């Protein structure tokens, strides 16, 4: 991470807040939006800004599922495993993505092109099973369309 | 205060009527998250392109969720002098055709229509007479899919803010009396009487109090709150302002999941507009009452649906529920101040109750549970969607009449309500009336409103395992029964699903489940065993089949199933052979293919890819060795 940009971005994030204790979660959210995840250096700076021990920042950040602590893929594949998707074969879809990408759920592939995650419901239950790649939603997904969907992103960008 | 509101209202009504009586066609596109997932924004762009291309003028508007998610993308067209026609399954190409056929050539394309607002179009069923509309009553969702969620004028024209204006002329105690008389119960799941909660907050003495709207909708398979916020955020804001006035709070928070970006955007816009019209902020409608509203984005923790955890989360801490005995949140909540916490749908009911009166609300639903229930009806049902029904309606009416029955003509097995805190109800309980008390007595619960239909291809042991996996993951970990107990139960369920279950496991699960319910400190742990206990109660035979016969009757549990190609049906087309990721299938042209079970990973790709007209790949359960 480039130190100069790091400070500029973080100062920009901090400029939107007052540094109050109750701002911890919104600050973490804003920092993650700026950096894509929460590097340790960023969390240390946040601890200073909010005036709480680093352990508390880490404790809060790890409590909530929204926060990431390592670099994410360029495209994040989210396989929905909400109840409707589960009963319609979401689990088999997840396995198909794991097979195709060669990583387990929760991991990023070595070239950082794709990350694979599960999500507990995107609320598009009527078109279950659902998979999201970035902001794009694929409904009525089938295992044998997995490669076709991934190819779109590999070639496209 | 109603006098102050009147000019705003009249102006809004005039605009609304101008729109209804416009000499231009009005096109409404359902563009809530569910519509967008199906391509609503592309459809909208296609409509606008086509209009431009044809040199036609029309008013194109985005509306929220109409509820018929099974037919997304939904487009409504109101041609001057013609009834409103709803079209379903619209793609960008169909949308262009529709513009050309109906707007240009006056062919209403009855083949694409779902329903019409009145029976004038003889070939199109009337909206009110559709089986899925007949049983529905819209209270919470009365404006969803009807108004533009980005226009406060639209809301004002539907009697919006009449409730707040009336409330500001009443005393707080009078408002609470109306609420108590109405019998409104909290829509978050537990069904606690709202009036009593408000009253205890009013009675608490403090210089500052808070109102919080719980929109941390975390149940998998539930999206009611999101749809309300996306389709009609004003009703929630108005309800919260009334609550603020009634309990004496000048500040409110809407706690929304960060995973709901569209809902957050609509809410932010609605708050802004309400401020501009002095319906939020300082001295609302000249009454002297101040009320500010802020959005807090939840960072993804299911347990934060619990009141004390949610409050801690707003304070910037880990959301770990506080153990009893402790003061109620209504006495000591956010920053130690009295705090009123209600669900999105509860607040959405309040304004109408004040405006239309307690008697009106009581006339809907049952005596003990007045009003309506909103459900996200999903799973193996023909017509998935967002529905609103009077409390007390029978389950079978929801599933068979509104939902159109089980999809694919398969057999109904169970309906799951209440998400990870609820349970699965079997076919012989389909006569059960849907309300807080009946569902709880049957071992499930109302919950926030997820309703998932399951057919004979759903394994109940696997479903129980699925929910328990979820609660284990979401347990905050501070109390042992929940943290350790759910994990041990899950291990037993894994064993059963893998054919390693022991005869005594079922009783052990029941015993552990009861201990977790008794020993956990918050609602998450106290309800976590429900999916397991209810499936054992109603589907014990399935557990027994897994344990005694090592069979999964629904053909779901991987370790207990295998795939086989029927040599009589196989046409040797080679599709499965090419698709198999582990080269477990052998065969050649004109030679029926065979699966080598020692290589097969049971991924099911061959099963999915085999053309329906052959259906040669079979999923089987039991001992495969017999066949090879």
Q: What is the CATH number of the domain that holds A37?
A: 1.10.10
In words, the CATH class of domain B16-130 is: alpha beta
Confidence class for position A68, pLDDT limits 50, 70, 90? very high
CA-nearest residue of chain A to B450?
A83
Residues of chain A positioned with their CB less than 8 A from the CB of B226: 123
Q: Where are the domains of chain B?
A: 16-130, 160-362, 372-455, 460-548, 561-627
CB pair distance less than 8 Å for A83 and B313: no
Instruction: Name the percent of chain A lying above pLDDT 90.
Output: 76
CB pair distance less than 8 Å for A123 and B226: yes
pLDDT at B551: 96
CA A27 from centroid of its chain's CA atoms: 17
pLDDT less than 50: residues of chain B: 626, 628
pLDDT at B66: 84
Is the pTM for the entire model greater than 0.90? Answer: yes
Q: Quick one: A48 and A109 in the same domain?
A: no
CA distance B435 to chain A (A): 22
CA-nearest residue of chain B to A68?
B299
User: May I ask the CATH architecture of the domain B372-455?
Assistant: Roll (3.10)
Residue A69 lies in a domain: no
How far apart are the C-alpha atoms of A14 and A3, rounded to whole Å? Answer: 16
pLDDT at B612: 93
Whether residue B43 contacts residue B30, with contact meaning beta carbons closer than 8 Å, is answered with: no
CA-nearest residue of chain B to A124?
B34
Where does B160-362 sit in CATH, by number? 3.40.50.11540
Residues of chain A positioned with their CB less than 8 A from the CB of B608: 142-144
Mutate to test the interface with B, among A67, A87, A98, A140 (most CBs of B within 10 A): A87
Q: Which residue from B37, B313, B579 is facing A127, i.e. has the nearest CB?
A: B37
CATH code 1.20.1440.230 for B460-548: yes
CB pair distance less than 8 Å for A125 and B218: no
Q: Quick one: A85 and A22 in the same domain?
A: no
CB pair distance less than 8 Å for A121 and B222: yes
Residue A140 lies in a domain: yes
Q: Quick one: A50 and A114 in the same domain?
A: no
Residues of chain A positioned with their CB less than 8 A from the CB of B227: 123
pLDDT at B260: 87
CB pair distance less than 8 Å for A60 and B316: yes
Q: Which of A23, A40, A63 is the last residue of a domain?
A: A63
CA distance A59 to chain B (A): 7
CB pair distance less than 8 Å for A67 and B378: no
Residues of chain B positioned with their CB less than 8 A from the CB of A123: 33-34, 222-223, 226-227, 376
Confidence class for position A3, pLDDT limits 50, 70, 90? low
Q: Quick one: A98 and A124 in the same domain?
A: yes
CB pair distance less than 8 Å for B34 and A123: yes
CA-nearest residue of chain A to B462?
A87
pLDDT at B128: 83
Residues of B53-87 as b/e, b for ≥16 C-beta within 10 angstroms? eeeeebeebbbbbbbbbbbbbbbbbbbeebbbbbb
Q: Quick one: A93 and A125 in the same domain?
A: yes
Overall domain count for chain A: 2
How far apart are the C-alpha atoms of B242 and B122, rounded to whole Å? Answer: 45
CB pair distance less than 8 Å for B384 and A125: yes
Spell out the SS3 assignment of A47-76. HHHHCCCHHHHHHHHHHCCCCCCCCCCCEE
Whether residue B548 contacts residue B503, with contact meaning beta carbons closer than 8 Å, is answered with: yes
Whether residue B551 contacts residue B605, with contact meaning beta carbons closer than 8 Å, is answered with: no
Q: Quick one: A49 and A84 in the same domain?
A: no
Q: Residue A86 is part of which domain span?
A: 75-156
CB pair distance less than 8 Å for A84 and B258: no
CB pair distance less than 8 Å for B463 and A88: no
Residues of chain A positioned with their CB less than 8 A from the CB of B259: 66, 119, 122
pLDDT at A155: 60
CA-nearest residue of chain A to B41?
A136
Helix (H) or strand (E) holding B133: helix B131-134
pLDDT at A154: 80
Q: Which residue from B317, B452, B581 is facing A60, i.e. has the nearest CB?
A: B317
Q: Which residue from A25, A26, A83 is facing B220, i.e. has the nearest CB?
A: A83
Q: Quick one: A30 and A101 in the same domain?
A: no
Which domain CATH number covers A146?
3.40.30.10
User: May I ask the CATH architecture of the domain B561-627?
Assistant: 2-Layer Sandwich (3.30)
Helix (H) or strand (E) holding B587: strand B585-588
How far apart are the C-alpha atoms of A25 and B536, rounded to whole Å? Answer: 41
Q: Quick one: A95 and A146 in the same domain?
A: yes
CA distance A22 to chain B (A): 5
Residue A70 lies in a domain: no
CB pair distance less than 8 Å for A124 and B34: yes
Size of interface A-B (CB pairs under 8 A): 139
Tell me the average pLDDT of chain A: 91
Q: Quick one: A18 and A48 in the same domain?
A: yes
Q: Quick one: A93 and A151 in the same domain?
A: yes
Q: Quick one: A20 and A80 in the same domain?
A: no
pLDDT digits (tens, 9 = 90+) for A102-119: 999 999 999 999 999 998
pLDDT at B628: 45
CB pair distance less than 8 Å for B316 and A22: yes
pLDDT at A4: 61
CA distance B571 to chain A (A): 20
Q: Quick one: A97 and A24 in the same domain?
A: no
Sequence-separated (6 or more) residues with CB below 8 Å from residue B350: B163, B179, B184, B194, B238, B239, B242, B243
Taking each helix axis as running N to C, give the angle between helix B261-276 and helix B224-231, from 0 to 180 degrees, rounded to the nearest 10: 40
Whether residue B234 contacts residue B348, with contact meaning beta carbons closer than 8 Å, is answered with: no
């Amino acid at each position: 991470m480039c130190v100069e940009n790091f400070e500029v971005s973080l100062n920009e994030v901090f400029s939107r807040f007052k540094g109050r204790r109750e701002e911890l979660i919104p600050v973490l959210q804003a920092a993650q939006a700026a950096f894509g995840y929460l590097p340790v250096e960023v969390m240390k700076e946040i601890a200073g800004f909010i005036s709480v021990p680093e352990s508390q920042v880490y404790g809060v950040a790890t409590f909530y599922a929204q926060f990431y602590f390592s670099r994410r893929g360029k495209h994040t594949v989210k396989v929905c495993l909400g109840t409707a998707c589960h009963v319609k074969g979401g689990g088999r879809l997840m396995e198909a993505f794991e097979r195709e990408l060669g990583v387990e759920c929760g991991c990023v592939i070595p070239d950082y092109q794709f990350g694979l995650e599960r999500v507990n419901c995107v609320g598009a239950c009527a078109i279950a099973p659902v998979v999201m790649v970035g902001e794009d939603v694929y409904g009525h997904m089938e295992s044998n369309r997995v490669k076709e969907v991934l190819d779109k992103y590999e070639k496209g960008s | 205060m109603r006098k102050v509101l009147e000019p705003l209202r009249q102006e809004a009504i005039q605009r609304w009527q101008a729109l209804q009586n416009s000499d231009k066609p009005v096109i409404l596109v359902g563009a809530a998250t569910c519509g967008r997932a199906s391509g609503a924004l592309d459809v909208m762009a296609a409509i606008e392109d086509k209009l431009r291309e044809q040199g036609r003028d029309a008013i194109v508007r985005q509306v929220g969720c109409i509820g018929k998610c099974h037919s997304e993308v939904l487009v409504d067209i109101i041609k001057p002098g013609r009834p409103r026609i709803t079209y379903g399954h619209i793609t960008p190409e169909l949308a262009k055709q529709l513009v050309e056929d109906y707007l240009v050539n006056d062919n209403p394309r009855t083949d694409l229509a779902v329903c019409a607002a009145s029976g004038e179009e003889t070939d199109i069923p009337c909206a009110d007479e559709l089986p899925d509309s007949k049983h529905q009553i819209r209270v919470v969702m009365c404006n969803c899919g009807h108004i533009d969620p980005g226009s406060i004028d639209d809301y004002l024209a539907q009697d919006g803010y009449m409730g707040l204006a009336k409330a500001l002329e009443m005393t707080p105690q009078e408002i609470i009396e109306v609420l108590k008389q109405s019998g409104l119960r909290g829509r978050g799941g537990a069904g606690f009487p709202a009036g009593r909660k408000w009253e205890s907050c009013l009675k608490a003495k403090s210089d500052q109090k808070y109102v919080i709207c719980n929109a941390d909708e975390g149940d998998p398979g539930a999206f009611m709150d999101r749809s309300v916020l996306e389709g009609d955020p004003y009703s929630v804001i108005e309800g919260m302002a009334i609550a603020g006035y009634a309990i004496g709070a000048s500040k409110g928070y809407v706690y929304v999941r960060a995973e709901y970006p569209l809902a957050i955007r609509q809410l932010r816009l609605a708050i802004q507009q309400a401020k501009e019209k002095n319906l939020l902020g300082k001295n609302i409608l000249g009454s002297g009452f101040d009320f500010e509203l802020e959005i807090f984005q939840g960072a993804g923790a299911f347990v934060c649906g619990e009141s004390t955890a949610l409050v801690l989360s707003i304070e910037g801490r880990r959301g770990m529920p506080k153990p009893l005995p402790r003061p109620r949140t209504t006495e000591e909540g956010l920053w130690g101040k009295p705090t009123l916490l209600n669900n999105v749908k509860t607040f959405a009911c309040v304004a109408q109750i004040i405006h239309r009166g307690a008697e009106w609300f009581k006339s809907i639903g049952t005596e003990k549970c007045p009003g309506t229930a909103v459900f996200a009806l999903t799973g193996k049902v023909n017509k998935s969607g967002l529905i609103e029904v009077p409390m007390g309606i029978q389950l079978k009416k929801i599933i068979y009449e509104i939902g159109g029955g089980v999809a694919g003509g398969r057999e109904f097995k169970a309906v799951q309500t209440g998400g990870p805190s609820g349970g699965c109800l079997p076919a012989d309980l389909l006569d059960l009336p849907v309300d807080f008390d009946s569902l709880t007595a049957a071992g499930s619960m109302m919950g926030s409103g997820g309703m998932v239909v399951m057919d004979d291809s759903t394994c109940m042991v696997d479903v129980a395992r699925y929910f328990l996996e979820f609660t284990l993951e979401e347990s905050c970990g501070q109390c042992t029964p929940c943290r350790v107990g759910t994990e041990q139960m899950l291990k037993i369920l894994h064993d059963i699903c893998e054919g390693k279950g022991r005869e005594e496991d079922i009783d052990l699960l029941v015993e552990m489940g009861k201990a977790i319910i008794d020993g956990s400190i918050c609602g998450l742990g106290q309800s976590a065993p429900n999916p397991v206990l209810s499936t054992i109660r109603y589907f014990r035979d399935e557990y027994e089949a897994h344990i005694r016969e090592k069979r999964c009757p629904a053909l779901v549990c991987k370790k207990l199933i295998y795939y086989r190609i029927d040599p009589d049906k196989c046409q040797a087309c080679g599709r499965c052979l090419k698709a198999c990721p582990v080269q477990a299938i052998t065969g050649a042209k004109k030679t029926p293919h065979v699966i080598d079970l020692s290589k097969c990973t049971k991924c099911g790709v061959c099963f999915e890819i085999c053309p329906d007209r052959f259906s040669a790949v079979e999923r089987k359960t039991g001992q495969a060795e017999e066949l090879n």
